[in-house]
């Protein structure tokens, strides 16, 4: 049985008060809260086995190494990668995309093309712009319609022998729109030999991801949005691709042999993991996958979809409120504005006084905001521990904001 109250009991922070009110945390698309099981694993590493990994024969180093490599195997299973060495630890989605954009530099030349979409986070725009500046390649953008749905006819028009990279998110952080990744990948495979990069930062917390079934070349996500510590993340890449491309950072751990004359690089995954890793965080990321799988990904998806449907219905009962991408297939997010209120942060501050935490602003998606001719939105985003009662408190707060800002 799915028991949201039992789940909530595993998050100590949900007992906190904000401005004298019980905390209602609806900013999960920015970062999720962390269950006690994850925090305890992180704390245990530092209290009991703190040591550097892969470099020592002493007992603590061996224990730390075993725990971090166990975590890698958990994540391999979590996303169904073929090999554990295809799972690269990073600091998050942003570093993962920057890593890919850097190691692909030699694969692009002047007038080659990179395709992204209008729904991207800045982290899936700027690294590709920088790659274009380095190589002379051109950026092409799949447009969206007024419902936040990508117009894939343009992808058909864009794809050609010039296409070297297609990089899109699986779920929009600003609107919650779920993109048709399978169709995008199928079209790309049929019409080009481009590298396919999928930003999964907003998908892995909400539903099952299978990178082999998806057949992407790269998949990136962040730990802190899926109940793990900040500063953790994963880059998945197909073995043959990662082996053929150059490393990103140079330093310790990523070498096989180093001399002043020549350095040879270590095999996967260490080729892409230069320097001392975030060992405690990486171990805790594995614990976060345990937390998700113990609840059941389908249970999480069902609960969060019900929350989204309820939140949208209750909000749309209010006069003078607009929900963006209202008719699109979405998960985890409802993004809205009050008519006549030009600054979304005003609504956010009123909600905060009531203990309700939401995100306001452009959500690092300024092109989306420009499309709708707005400065930003109020974004409520959901996790497995949120309740319908919390959504009722959100709606009451929005009503109060309407009265105060009228």
Q: What is the pLDDT of residue 220?
A: 99
Tell me the average pLDDT of the chain. 97
Same domain, 155 and 120: yes
pTM here? 0.97
Strands 255-258 and 233-237, bridge-based pairing: unpaired
Domain count, the chain: 2
Domain boundary (248, 270, 293) is at 293
Domain boundary (268, 293, 318) is at 293
Q: What is the pLDDT of residue 406?
A: 80
The CATH number that applies at residue 157 is: 3.40.640.10
Domain boundary (240, 268, 293) is at 293
Provide the 10 A C-beta neighbour count for residue 404: 12
Q: What is the pLDDT of residue 342?
A: 75
The average pLDDT across 6-34 equals 98
Q: Which domain holds residue 397?
A: 296-405
Q: What is the pLDDT of residue 140?
A: 98
Q: Looking at the domain assignment, is residue 243 inside a domain?
A: yes
Which pLDDT tens digit goes with each residue over 161-216? 999 999 999 999 999 999 999 999 999 999 999 999 999 999 999 999 999 999 99
Same domain, 127 and 232: yes
Q: Looking at the domain assignment, is residue 59 inside a domain?
A: yes
Q: What is the pLDDT of residue 355?
A: 98
Same domain, 282 and 319: no
Q: What is the pLDDT of residue 341?
A: 85
Same domain, 228 and 179: yes
What is the rounded CA–CA span in Å between residue 333 and residue 113?
A: 31
Would you say 147 and 176 are in contact if contact means Cβ atoms under 8 Å apart? no
Same domain, 68 and 115: yes
Chain center to CA of 287: 17
Strands, E assignment, 143-194: 163-169
Q: Which two tokens stand for residue 180?
A: 């048709």
Q: b/e map of 157-181 (b: 16 or more CB within 10 Å)?
A: ebbeebbbbbbbbbbbbbbbbbbeb
The average pLDDT across 20-39 equals 98
Which pLDDT tens digit goes with each residue over 257-304? 999 999 999 999 999 999 999 999 999 999 999 999 999 999 999 999
Residue closest to 219 by CA, chosen among 315, 86, 343: 86
What is the rounded CA–CA span in Å between residue 109 and residue 284?
A: 40
Q: Looking at the domain assignment, is residue 366 inside a domain?
A: yes
Query: HEC profile for 84-98?
Result: HHHEEEECCHHHHHH
Q: Looking at the domain assignment, is residue 155 inside a domain?
A: yes
Q: Looking at the domain assignment, is residue 333 inside a domain?
A: yes
Q: What is the pLDDT of residue 340?
A: 86
Q: Looking at the domain assignment, is residue 26 inside a domain?
A: no
Look at residue 228 and tell me whether its pLDDT is greater than 90: yes
Q: Looking at the domain assignment, is residue 32 inside a domain?
A: no
Give the list of residues 6+ apart from residue 265 with CB closer than 8 angstroms, or none: 247, 254, 255, 256, 271
Q: What is the pLDDT of residue 43?
A: 98
Q: Which stretches within 178-329 are classed as H helix? A: 181-191, 211-214, 239-244, 279-295, 297-316
Q: Looking at the domain assignment, is residue 10 inside a domain?
A: no
Residues catalogued as catalytic = 364
Residue closest to 278 by CA, chosen among 67, 101, 102, 36: 67
């Amino acid at each position: 049985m799915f028991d949201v109250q039992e789940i909530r009991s595993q998050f100590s922070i949900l007992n906190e008060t904000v401005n004298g009110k019980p905390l209602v945390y609806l900013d999960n698309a920015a970062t999720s809260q962390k269950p006690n099981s994850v925090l305890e694993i992180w704390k245990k590493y530092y209290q009991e086995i703190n040591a550097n990994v892969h470099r020592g024969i002493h007992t603590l180093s061996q224990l730390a190494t075993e725990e971090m490599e166990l975590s890698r195997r958990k994540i391999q299973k979590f996303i169904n990668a073929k090999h554990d060495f295809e799972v690269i630890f990073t600091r998050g989605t942003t570093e993962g995309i920057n890593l890919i954009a850097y190691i692909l530099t030699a694969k692009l030349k002047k007038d080659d093309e990179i395709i992204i979409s209008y729904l991207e986070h800045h982290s899936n725009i700027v690294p590709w712009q920088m790659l274009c500046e380095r190589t002379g390649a051109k950026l092409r953008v799949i447009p969206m319609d007024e419902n936040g749905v990508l117009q894939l006819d343009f992808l058909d028009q864009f794809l050609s022998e010039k296409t070297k990279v297609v990089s899109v998110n699986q779920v929009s952080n600003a609107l919650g729109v779920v993109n048709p990744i399978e169709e995008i990948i199928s079209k790309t495979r049929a019409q080009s030999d481009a590298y396919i990069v999928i930003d999964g930062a907003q998908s892995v917390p909400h539903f099952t991801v299978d990178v082999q079934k998806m057949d992407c070349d790269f998949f990136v996500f962040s730990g802190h949005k899926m109940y793990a510590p900040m500063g953790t993340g994963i880059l998945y890449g197909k073995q043959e691709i990662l082996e053929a491309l150059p490393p990103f950072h140079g330093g310790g751990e990523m070498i096989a042999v180093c001399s002043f004359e020549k350095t040879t690089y270590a095999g996967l995954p260490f080729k892409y993991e230069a320097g001392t890793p975030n060992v405690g965080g990486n171990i805790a990321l594995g614990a976060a996958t345990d937390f998700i799988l113990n609840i059941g990904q389908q249970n999480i998806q069902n609960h969060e979809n019900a929350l989204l449907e309820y939140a949208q219905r209750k909000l749309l009962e209010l006069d003078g409120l607009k929900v963006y991408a209202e008719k699109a297939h979405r998960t985890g997010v409802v993004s809205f504005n009050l008519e006549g209120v030009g600054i979304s942060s005003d609504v956010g501050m009123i909600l905060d006084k009531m203990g309700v935490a939401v995100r306001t602003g452009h959500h690092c998606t300024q092109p989306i905001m420009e499309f709708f001719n707005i400065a930003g939105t109020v974004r409520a985003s959901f996790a497995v521990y949120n309740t319908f009662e919390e959504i009722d408190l959100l709606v009451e707060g929005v009503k109060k904001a309407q009265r105060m800002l009228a």
